[in-house]
Amino acid sequence: MQIKRYEAKNVQEALEKIKRELGPDAIILSNKQLSGGKTPRIEVVAAKDDGETPLSRSFPGRRDGNGDGSLPVPGIPPLGDKNEWDGLKEDIGELKVLLRELKKRDEMFDAFGEVKERFNILFDLLGLKDTGGKNHLSQVYSRLVAQGVSKKSACILLEMLNRGTMTDRPGTPEEGMKLVEDLIRNRIRRKQPAGIDGRIKVFVGSTGVGKTTTIAKLAAHYTLGGKKRVGLATTDTYRIAAPEQLKTYARIMGIPVQVAADINGLRKVIEDFSDRDVILVDTPGMGLNDLSHFERTRDMFASRDGVEMSLLLSLVSSRENLYNTLSRFEDLGIDRIILTKMDECRRFGFLFDLVEKVRKPVSYVTTGQNVPHDIEEVTSENLAKLIVAGTLH
């Protein structure tokens, strides 16, 4: 077999050269675009069977197949007229597409293999392998994620469950969820400090989060349930209606209320309320970029003497907003968290991440607009239940 390489401007030119030199029986072995150079060029490798080479001898049947002396490579016709050449070009084009598809499929299989491998590692880690369907941890994982627990935390919880205290494997996914609930409850109990219990209880948070409503609810509980003498105060002198809202609640409950415009005003309020067991202080809603309100509030309560500061977080805010609010208000020295508007939220799994991160006790959750009823005290029990089962009871 005689093999030759040709360079040409285009296929037509290459074809003419090949025909001229090797004759009409030549076959094309390869054809490619050459890179570099100013003008585009192609390289064509063509061959002519002269009946002498080992290659042609090794395919005697094929050689005879066409009966015209050409080497009949399947799908590649002998070089003939223009139509045949066009057909060949089409075939090459189709082959290229096919090869590309195959390559893509290979890549997909590679990626799939990698994911599978990761799952194996994860399952290994969690002890989920080869259990013959006896443990239900993978279902527990799915349920936790469905409740809004982050995937990372769900993995960590299962790993803790698997490595730590668990003596029996759960017989059902429900049992698994119960075990996770126990684990979270113990974790909250262990990790969260009791929090100070100040006589001056200050409530801070973004506008509309529910500060004034929550203060009214708590005032009623302290007065009616705790038989405590309560004084109400507000530092919100920015909105005309703000003290009015608090005054209305105070009037209904028969509780005194005062307004403190600055640090001296606050001192006077504290003095005036020296006979009160508890002073509940409302503050203006602070936007995240509201520097002056932050500084004023921080300065007013800087002494921290008998002060307990609760940050109210609305459960309907986006997670991003919650974390931004947290990091913004941390500057004020937050002692406790109050979660509001639980009635407007369905899944509470994200609270696991929140309480793990904040490490401040959650003291109350508010469950509606009704004063004084829609508020519940939070314990490690009901918080764990809320996270895992989406309900407090």
Ligand X SMILES: Nc1nc2c(ncn2[C@@H]2O[C@H](COP(=O)(O)OP(=O)(O)O)[C@@H](O)[C@H]2O)c(=O)[nH]1
Residue 363 in contact with ligand X, rule: CB under 6 A:
no
Q: Which stretch binds ligand X (CB under 6 A): 55-63, 113-121, 367-375, 376-384?
A: 367-375
The closest alpha carbon to 325, from 306, 342, 338, belongs to 338
**Radius of gyration (C-alpha) of the chain in whole angstroms:** 39
Three-state SS for 273? Answer: coil
Q: Which stretch binds ligand X (CB under 6 A): 51-59, 128-136, 166-174, 366-374?
A: 366-374
Considering CB distances under 5 to 8 angstroms, the limit depending on partner class, which of ligand X, Mg ion, none binds residue 341?
Answer: ligand X
**Centroid of chain to Cα 104:** 29
Residue 377 in contact with ligand X, rule: CB under 6 A:
no
Instruction: Show the site string, 233-252: x = touches Mg ion by CB under 5 A, - = not.
Output: --------------------
Total residues contacting ligand X by CB under 6 A comes to 18
Contacts with 103 (C-beta within 8 Å, 6 or more apart), sequence order: none
Residue 208 in contact with ligand X, rule: CB under 6 A:
yes
Total residues contacting Mg ion by CB under 5 A comes to 2
Q: Which residues pair with 231 in a beta bridge?
A: 279
Nearer to ligand X, 310 or 380 (CB): 310
Three-state SS for 104? Answer: helix
Burial class (CB in 10 A: 0-12, 13-18, 19+), 98: exposed
Nearer to Mg ion, 228 or 239 (CB): 239
Least separation in angstroms between CB 219 and ligand X: 13
Residue 366 in contact with Mg ion, rule: CB under 5 A:
no
Considering CB distances under 5 to 8 angstroms, the limit depending on partner class, which of Mg ion, ligand X, none binds residue 343?
Answer: ligand X
**What residue has token string 């050689």?**
63
200 and 299 Cβ atoms separated by less than 8 Å:
no
Residue 368 in contact with ligand X, rule: CB under 6 A:
yes
Least separation in angstroms between CB 233 and ligand X: 14
What are the C-alpha distances in Å from 180 to residues 278, 388, 389? 37, 8, 10
Task: By CB under 5 A, name the one of 70, 147, 212, 297 that touches Mg ion.
Answer: 212
Three-state SS for 48? Answer: strand
Task: State the Cα–Cα distance between residues 197 and 212, nearest whole angstrom.
Answer: 20
Residue 258 in contact with Mg ion, rule: CB under 5 A:
no
Nearer to Mg ion, 212 or 363 (CB): 212
Q: Which two tokens stand for residue 136?
A: 């239900």
Instruction: Show the site string, 163-202: x = touches ligand X by CB under 6 A, - = not.
Output: ----------------------------------------
Least separation in angstroms between CB 257 and ligand X: 14
Residue 341 in contact with ligand X, rule: CB under 6 A:
yes
Residue 372 in contact with ligand X, rule: CB under 6 A:
no
The closest alpha carbon to 382, from 185, 246, 249, belongs to 185
Nearer to ligand X, 30 or 369 (CB): 369
Amino acid at 13: E
Least separation in angstroms between CB 301 and ligand X: 17
Relative to beta strand 41-48, strand 2-8 is: antiparallel
DSSP string, 232-269: EEE---SSTHHHHHHHHHHHHHT--EEE--SHHHHHHH
Binders of ligand X in range 277-296 (CB under 6 A):
285
Contacts with 15 (C-beta within 8 Å, 6 or more apart), sequence order: 44, 79, 85
| Interacting residue ranges for Mg ion, rule: CB under 5 A | 211-212
| Interacting residue ranges for ligand X, rule: CB under 6 A | 205, 207-213, 285, 340-341, 343-344, 366-369, 374
